[in-house]
Structure 1
Amino acid sequence: MKVLKLNAISPVADEVFKGYEYSDKVENPDGIMLRSFAMHDYPLGENLLAVARAGAGVNNIPIDKCTEKGIVVFNTPGANANAVKELVLCELFLGGRKIVDAANWAQTLKGQEGISKLVEKGKSKFVGQEIMGKKLGVIGLGAIGAMVANAAIHLGMSVVGYDPFISVKSAWMIDRRVEFTDDLNVVFKSCDFITVHVPLTPDTKGMFNKKTLAACKDGVVIINNSRGDLVVSEDIVEAVAGGKVSRYITDFPDETLLGKENILCVPHLGASTPEAEDNCAYMAGKQLTDYLENGNITNSVNYPSVSMPRDSAARVCVHHKNVKEILSKILAIISSQGINVAHMQDQSKGEYAYLVLDLDEVPSAACIDLIRGVKDVIRVRCL
C-alpha cells in the first residue's frame, strides 16, 4: 500500500509504515499523513481511503468531502496533551507576571552605567500577581483540559470546569477538587484566568466576543491554545485596551493582535516538542495502518469507531448512509450467496455509518459489486 506525506512527519512513523511505499513523492496514495498542510483544494484521488492528522485539529482537512467519498479522517486526541498542558502552565505564569515585558526591558539596559540601580528603579513597572489562590476556568475538559485542571489544582488554584460533552474517561481523570458547572457564564463572571480547550465548530467560533468578554470578571487573563477563531480578534483587542482583560495570550498570532500591549502571541508552539511530534506520528500511523489493513476505525472525526479482531476468512467493510433497511439489504445479498456472517458491527455517526462483516468464506467479486449497487452505499472494501 502507498501512503503520502504532505508534511514532514517524525521518523517514528517510518517504522510503523515498514513495508509500505511511504514518502512525500507517492502518487495515487491509499492513505495520507499530514500535520498542518491545507487540503481544502487538494484533489482526493479515487484510491484514497483515509487521511491521518498527526495532531488534534482538522480544520485544514475537507471533512465533508471526505465523508461523502467514504474517506476516513483520523486525528490523535491526547497525543500532544502533555506538551500543550505545559505551555498553558507557562502561560498562566506569564499572564500573572510581566516576565516577557520585564525581560525585554532589561535587554535595553545593555551599555548603560549603573545597571543594578536602574533595575531596582525600573522593576516596579513590572509588578504582577501570583496564581496561587486565584480561580482558573477551564472550558473544555478533554485530554488537555483535564490535565490543565489537575495541574492547576496542585499549583494552589481553585478550578471551575465547563464541558457539556465531557466523556466518562475524562471525568474519571479529573481531580475531585475541580468544580463543575453547566453554565458558561459562571466561568466568565467568577474566574481570574480562563483557558479554552475546545474544537473550532460553527457553535464555538467567536465564543469570546464583545458580549461574552463584557460578562467576564474585570482584569481576567484569557489563554487560547485551541484555535484562533474561537476569539474575535477585534473584540479582544478592545477589551485589553480598555482593561477589561488584563492580558490575552494566544498560540495563534494574526495581524490584528500583533504589536498590541498586553497581548502575547506565541507562534503556534502548543505541540512543538519532539515528544509530542513522536507521539502524534506514532498514533496517527498506527490508526491509519490498522484501517488500511484491517478496516478498524479508531479516533475518526467523520466515521464511528468500529474495531474487531481478525479471525475469519474475509472481512467486508461498507461505508453507507445512516438510513433504514440498508443493513438488511446488504445481509440479504451475503445470504443469497450462501455465505455465513461470523461477526458483525454496524455503527453510525450522524448521517453516515460504517459496517464491518467478518465472513466464513471469501465473497466473489460479483457479490461485492451487488453490495456496491445498493442505494446509499458509499464505499465497499473486501480485505
Structure 2
Amino acid sequence: MALEPPRRPAALAMRPTVAAALFTGQNRSRLMDLVDVDPDLVLEDLHSADARSALADAEVLITGWGCPPIDEPALLAAPRLRAVVHTAGSVKDIVTEACWRRGIQVASAASANAVPVAEYTVAAILFANKQVLNARDDYARLRDQDTDWHARLAVAGNYRRRVGIVGASRIGRRVIALLRGFDLEILLTDPYLHPDEADRLGARLTGLPELFAACDTISIHAPLLPQTAGMITRALLAAMPDGATLINTARGDLIDQHALEEELLSGRLSAVLDVTTPETLPASSPLYTLPNVLLTPHIAGSMGNELQRMAHFALDELECWTKGEPFNDPVYRAALERTA
C-alpha cells in the first residue's frame, strides 16, 4: 500500500477569536487533514519567539483579520514560505512587496466575502426605493390617525427605478447580477469597463455626473485608491435628485463626508452607510439619529455564520495548493493597482 505523502507545514496568523470562529468542527478537522498545523497556535505577532518557531518550517501561511504585515523580517524567519491563503477579502495590508519579490503565491476569500455585502446592498436598494425609513417614521408619528398610505407613499416603489452602481468590482458585479430579477434600470460607471461588457452584465455604462443626476438610488462599490479618494464630490452629491438615496458599503474616504453630512442634515437626501470617515464616528455625530440615515457598524461583510463561507472557500484554495494545483481565485500583484 502506498504511503500518504506527509502533510506540508503551515501556520495560522490572525486574531485568535477569528480563527476560533472560522475553524470549528468539520472546518478544523479538514484544516488538520490538509496541512500540518497547530490550530491552537494563532499568531498575532510575526516577530515573537512563538512566531519564529512556527514560521521556521511553514510552507503556507493561513491568514485572516488581525494578521500583521508579512514583512521582510517575518519572511527571513520563514525561509520555506511559498504561499499565503487569506480567509478574508483584501490582502493589501498583509501581503507586502517583500512577499511579491519572493514570488509567494497568494489567494484570498474575497469572492466569498463579496456575497453578504452584495446581499446587504440589494436589501438596502429595495428598501430605499420602497421608502421604508419614511414609512416607519410616519407610521409611528401618525399611528392614531386614519392615514391614506397609498397617497402618502405615492413616490415609493421599485418598478423601473434607476439604480446607479459605482464600480464594476466583485461586489458591484454581484449586486448587478442579483438585481437582474427585478424591474429596475441599472446604470454603471467604471473607467476600466467597455460598454459591451456593461451590456453583458445587464447595465448601461455611463459617466459619474450622468449617473448621479439620473438615479433614484446609488450604491458605491469602488476600491479606495489614491485616485479614488474623495471621488464622490460635493458637486456629485448636489446633482442627486431630491429624495434619492446613497448607499456606501465600500470605504468612507471615497465620499466627501462633510458635503454628505450637509445634504443629509438638510433632509434632501437619504443614506445607508455601513462605512464612514472616520470608521467609527464620534458620539456627537448627527448621523446616529437622523431619520433619513440608516447607519450600521461595518457589518455588510461576513458576520456570524457567514464566516463559514469564507472558511470553506479558503480551505478549498488550501486543498488546491496541497495538490500542486493553481488557486481557483489567485491574487496578482498587478491587479492590486486598481482593486481593493
TM-score (norm 1): 0.63
> By how many angstroms is 1:10 displaced?
4.5
Are the aligned partners of 2:10 and 2:62 in contact in 1 as well (CA < 8 Å)? no
Which residue type is aligned with residue 265 of structure 1? L
> By how many angstroms is 1:2 displaced?
1.5
> By how many angstroms is 1:149 displaced?
2.0
Mapping of 1:272-283 within 5 angstroms? 272=302, 276-283=306-313
Inter-partner Cα distance in structure 2 for 1:173 and 1:35: 34
Find the counterpart in structure 1 of residue 85 from structure 2. Answer: 52
Structure 1 residues 142 and 284, CA gap change in structure 2 (3 angstroms): same
> By how many angstroms is 1:251 displaced?
1.8
Report sequence identity in percent: 22
Inter-partner Cα distance in structure 1 for 2:124 and 2:23: 26
Q: Does 1:151 align with 2:178?
A: yes
Choose the corresponding residue for 2:66, options 37, 49, 56: 37
Choose the corresponding residue for 1:222, options 246, 258, 264: 246
Structure label with greater radius of gyration: 1
> By how many angstroms is 1:91 displaced?
0.7
Question: What CA deviation, in whole Å up to 9, does each residue of 1:64-85 have, x standing for no partner?
Answer: 3533454444222432343222
Structure 1 residues 129 and 293, CA gap change in structure 2 (3 angstroms): same
Inter-partner Cα distance in structure 2 for 1:19 and 1:137: 43
Are the aligned partners of 1:147 and 1:174 in contact in 2 as well (CA < 8 Å)? no
Structure 1 residues 34 and 41, CA gap change in structure 2 (3 angstroms): closer
> Any unmatched runs of 5+ in structure 1?
110-115, 305-348, 352-383
Question: What CA deviation, in whole Å up to 9, does each residue of 1:137-195 have, x standing for no partner?
Answer: 112224432332243343211111223334999768623xx2223x2222122111111
Are the aligned partners of 1:5 and 1:22 in contact in 2 as well (CA < 8 Å)? no
Query: Which of the two has greater helix per residue?
Result: 2
Question: What CA deviation, in whole Å up to 9, does each residue of 1:170-229 have, x standing for no partner?
Answer: 768623xx2223x22221221111112222222222222323323433432111112232
Choose the corresponding residue for 1:209, options 203, 225, 233: 233
Choose the corresponding residue for 1:82, options 92, 101, 115: 115
Structure 1 residues 44 and 208, CA gap change in structure 2 (3 angstroms): farther
Q: Does 1:251 align with 2:274?
A: yes
Q: Does 1:174 align with 2:206?
A: no
Find the counterpart in structure 2 of residue 241 from structure 1. Answer: 265
Find the counterpart in structure 2 of residue 118 from structure 1. Answer: 144
Which residue type is aligned with residue 23 of structure 1? P
> By how many angstroms is 1:134 displaced?
1.4
Which residue type is aligned with residue 25 of structure 1? L
> By how many angstroms is 1:285 displaced?
2.8
Inter-partner Cα distance in structure 1 for 2:120 and 2:236: 25
Which residue type is aligned with residue 249 of structure 1? V
Structure 1 residues 274 and 214, CA gap change in structure 2 (3 angstroms): same
Are the aligned partners of 1:209 and 1:235 in contact in 2 as well (CA < 8 Å)? yes
Find the counterpart in structure 2 of residue 290 from structure 1. Answer: 320
> By how many angstroms is 1:123 displaced?
7.8
- The number of equivalent residue pairs is 296
Inter-partner Cα distance in structure 2 for 1:271 and 1:136: 21
Are the aligned partners of 2:245 and 2:271 in contact in 1 as well (CA < 8 Å)? yes
Q: Does 1:188 align with 2:215?
A: no
> By how many angstroms is 1:237 displaced?
0.9
Structure 1 residues 251 and 32, CA gap change in structure 2 (3 angstroms): farther
Are the aligned partners of 1:10 and 1:281 in contact in 2 as well (CA < 8 Å)? yes
Structure 1 residues 288 and 228, CA gap change in structure 2 (3 angstroms): farther
Paired residue secondary structure (1:33): strand
Find the counterpart in structure 2 of residue 263 from structure 1. Answer: 293
Q: Does 1:139 align with 2:166?
A: yes
TM-score (norm 2): 0.70
Which residue type is aligned with residue 32 of structure 1? L
> Any unmatched runs of 5+ in structure 2?
1-8, 43-53
Choose the corresponding residue for 1:18, options 10, 33, 36: 33
Find the counterpart in structure 2 of residue 64 from structure 1. Answer: 97
Are the aligned partners of 1:251 and 1:266 in contact in 2 as well (CA < 8 Å)? yes
Which residue type is aligned with residue 324 of structure 2? N
User: Aligned-residue CA RMSD in angstroms?
Assistant: 3.9
Inter-partner Cα distance in structure 2 for 1:19 and 1:160: 44
Structure 1 residues 147 and 350, CA gap change in structure 2 (3 angstroms): closer
Paired residue secondary structure (2:74): coil
Are the aligned partners of 1:205 and 1:230 in contact in 2 as well (CA < 8 Å)? yes
Find the counterpart in structure 1 of residue 129 from structure 2. Answer: 96
Are the aligned partners of 2:188 and 2:198 in contact in 1 as well (CA < 8 Å)? no
> By how many angstroms is 1:293 displaced?
5.7
Which residue type is aligned with residue 85 of structure 2? A
Inter-partner Cα distance in structure 1 for 2:246 and 2:222: 14
Inter-partner Cα distance in structure 1 for 2:106 and 2:255: 26
Find the counterpart in structure 2 of residue 359 from structure 1. Answer: none
Query: Which of the two has greater strand per residue?
Result: 1
Find the counterpart in structure 2 of residue 367 from structure 1. Answer: none
Inter-partner Cα distance in structure 1 for 2:319 and 2:173: 29
